[in-house]
């Protein structure tokens, strides 16, 4: 609606949102963007991103911009999973959805000495994505199931690793930004080791990108690098892993360059494949 000064609210062309209630009763704000392009024969690649309240617009505009020019990326559907708030982050909700249960003595004291939010919803959240959200999206859009990405940052990055290690065939591309590998005393590390062993007998293919900012806390950079080295050394057939450390970027500022890399990661041949 236009006000008396001729100004109006801005909306991203092609984007829409709705509320979805999962079987557990948890509610999510789903944000979706459809490219203004002909549907490919195999369907559109799709990016499922966590913390959509914070960065859905950044992801969509990056896909739109990088879809221009002779080295453009393939157009992708973008699906954001957010919460019913106008704030960038819903701390309570994301702590629950993106984690396994952790007791107080398995976590460091918070700076303000306040109790940690409730935790432990990761398994239910992954099930919601796989069994409820994805079928709903595939009824609305034509999706290429061989080119699906899961993108998350911080605790969301931890959840991306959790999804890869626990249900590796769910996506083909995984982007874990600044993953909170410290969570629950490094709980995810044994998962990585089991994944490496089981993956040698698997018939799936997947690619993982781990990104972090050079100005993050030293343990964040160290843990991300060590996870990359551990998975690279495992030499899992059909599995590739990349690592990027972005200079002069901190824990939050790294999200924007990581999104740019993620969009190209989903179309790995675009840099050397001019398109007419």
Residue numbers of the chain with a pLDDT score lower than 70: 1-4, 201, 269-276
- Domain annotation covers residue 152: yes
- Domain annotation covers residue 2: no
State residue 272's pLDDT score.
Answer: 55
Q: Are 80 and 47 in contact (CB under 8 A)?
A: no
State residue 199's pLDDT score.
Answer: 75
- Domain annotation covers residue 7: no
Element (H, E) at 165: helix 155-166
d(CA 244, CA 44): 26
| Burial of residue 146, with CB atoms counted within 10 A of its CB: 0-12 exposed, 13-18 middle, 19 or more buried | exposed
Q: Are 227 and 179 in contact (CB under 8 A)?
A: yes
Strand segments, DSSP code E, in the chain are 15-21, 27-33, 44-49, 77-82, 143-153, 173-177, 206-213, 239-246
Element (H, E) at 135: helix 134-140
Q: Give residue 8's Cα distance to chain centre.
A: 31
d(CA 122, CA 223): 21
Structural domain containing residue 82: 15-266
**Strand-pair partners of 131:** none
d(CA 130, CA 24): 14
- Domain annotation covers residue 121: yes
State residue 204's pLDDT score.
Answer: 81
State residue 270's pLDDT score.
Answer: 61
- Domain annotation covers residue 8: no
- Count of domains observed in the chain: 1
Residues annotated as part of the active site:
154, 216, 251
- Domain annotation covers residue 5: no
- Domain annotation covers residue 275: no
- Domain annotation covers residue 177: yes
Per residue in 68-91, pLDDT tens?
888 789 999 999 999 999 999 999
Q: How many helices (H) and strands (E) does the chain have?
A: 9, 8
| Burial of residue 152, with CB atoms counted within 10 A of its CB: 0-12 exposed, 13-18 middle, 19 or more buried | buried
* pTM for this predicted structure: 0.94
Q: For position 22, which CATH number holds?
A: 3.40.50.1820
């Amino acid at each position: 609606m236009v006000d008396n000064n001729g100004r109006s609210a801005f909306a991203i062309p092609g984007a829409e949102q709705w509320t979805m209630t999962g079987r557990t009763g948890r509610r999510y704000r789903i944000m979706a963007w459809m490219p203004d392009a002909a549907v490919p024969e195999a369907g559109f690649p799709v990016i499922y991103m966590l913390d959509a309240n914070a960065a859905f617009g950044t992801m969509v505009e990056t896909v739109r911009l990088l879809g221009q020019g002779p080295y453009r990326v393939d157009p992708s559907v973008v699906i954001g999973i957010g919460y019913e708030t106008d704030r960038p982050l819903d701390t309570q909700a994301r702590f629950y959805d993106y984690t396994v249960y952790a007791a107080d003595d398995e976590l460091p004291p918070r700076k303000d000495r306040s109790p940690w939010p409730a935790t432990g919803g990761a398994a239910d959240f992954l099930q919601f994505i796989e069994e409820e959200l994805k079928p709903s999206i595939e009824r609305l859009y034509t999706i290429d199931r061989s080119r699906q990405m899961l993108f998350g940052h911080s605790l969301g990055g931890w959840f991306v690793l959790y999804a890869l290690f626990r249900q590796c065939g769910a996506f083909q591309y995984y982007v874990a930004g600044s993953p909170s590998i410290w969570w629950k005393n490094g709980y995810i590390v044994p998962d990585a080791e089991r994944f490496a062993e089981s993956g040698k007998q698997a018939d799936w293919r997947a690619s993982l990108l781990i990104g972090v900012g050079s100005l993050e806390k030293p343990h964040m950079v160290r843990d991300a690098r060590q996870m990359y080295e551990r998975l690279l050394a495992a030499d899992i057939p059909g599995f590739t892993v990349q690592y990027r450390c972005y200079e002069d970027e901190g824990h939050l500022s790294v999200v924007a360059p990581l999104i740019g890399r993620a969009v190209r990661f989903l179309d790995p041949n675009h840099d050397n494949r001019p398109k007419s």
